[in-house]
Amino acid sequence: MALIKTWEELTICDNFLFQKVMQNESLCKRLIEKLLNIKIQSLTYTELEKSIDLAVDRKGIRLDLFVVTDDGTMINIEMQTTDSNNAELVNRTRYYQSLVDLDSMKTGAKYKDMKKSYIIFICTFDHFNLGRKVYTFTNRCHECEGLELGDGTCKIFLNAKGSVGGVDKDIDSFLAYVSGSAAEGEFTQDVASEVERIKRHDGLRREYMSLRLALEDKLDEGIAIGEERGIVKGKAEERLSSIRNLIENLGWTAQKAMEALRIPAEEQPKYLEQINGPAAVPQPE
């Protein structure tokens, strides 16, 4: 299989197809209600691939699915298919949280008016290796058991390979489907039907093929740059752009993108720091 999948190879696990499926507001609403055990009257898409501008260079990061519920709750859902086996995945939730909060404050909201937010990663692997179907993280006091900070933030990792812990039966079936099993249950079957409908859509097929060709050009460009010695600043910036394109459009980790681009191991930390921040760079023991 090529590094960048063909249209026929795409599944619900691939960012492009996941995004298109979640444009079906009914399915998106049902997924969120079942994930969070809440009732939603309506959803607002803040752009399917929301681009959040960064203050310094105006470059941004696109979120797979970013919606706001009728009560103002902000929800970012990402499909993750590659385990980085280091702090990168966890630090990405931290980074996404900061960007969502920054975007919220742009509207002039006061701190006391900030709404709840959820960063949800649907993973095809068990990053924490404990076998659980879901891992939920909120900010809590270490010294006082049960004392929540109450800042309204929550990070959730769903594990399609999990076997421990109870979840909504439809979410259970959905995770099995993400993991490659046949669609079972009304909700998952509806998701599978939407996948098939999209796969038959010639316009979306052409859209993906155009994206694929552009990404292949970026990949080839990044490899060529990586094979040259004495990288100058301009070429380093082109390489960084190639890494970001692969992360944003294919859902790859920075590590996988750098390996595909054949970036030497000794040069990878500087790119990892620019993409995920200093905390993402592995420190020597």
Question: What pLDDT, on a 0 to 100 scale, did the predictor assign at position 163?
Answer: 93
Question: What pLDDT, on a 0 to 100 scale, did the predictor assign at position 100?
Answer: 84
Question: What pLDDT, on a 0 to 100 scale, did the predictor assign at position 243?
Answer: 84
Question: What pLDDT, on a 0 to 100 scale, did the predictor assign at position 238?
Answer: 79
Question: What pLDDT, on a 0 to 100 scale, did the predictor assign at position 267?
Answer: 84
Are 161 and 124 within 8 A, CB to CB?
A: yes
Question: What pLDDT, on a 0 to 100 scale, did the predictor assign at position 57?
Answer: 39
Question: What pLDDT, on a 0 to 100 scale, did the predictor assign at position 50?
Answer: 46
Domain regions of the chain by residue span: 7-199, 202-280
Question: What pLDDT, on a 0 to 100 scale, did the predictor assign at position 153?
Answer: 94
Which residues of the chain register pLDDT less than 70? Answer: 1-2, 47-63, 84-86, 106-109, 223, 225-234, 276-285
pLDDT digits (tens, 9 = 90+) for 57-92: 334 456 678 899 999 899 999 999 887 656 778 888
Question: What pLDDT, on a 0 to 100 scale, did the predictor assign at position 51?
Answer: 46
- The DSSP annotation for 158-225 comes to EETT--BS---HHHHHHHHHHTTPPP-SHHHHHHHHHHHHHHT-HHHHHHHHHHHHHHHHHHHHHHHH
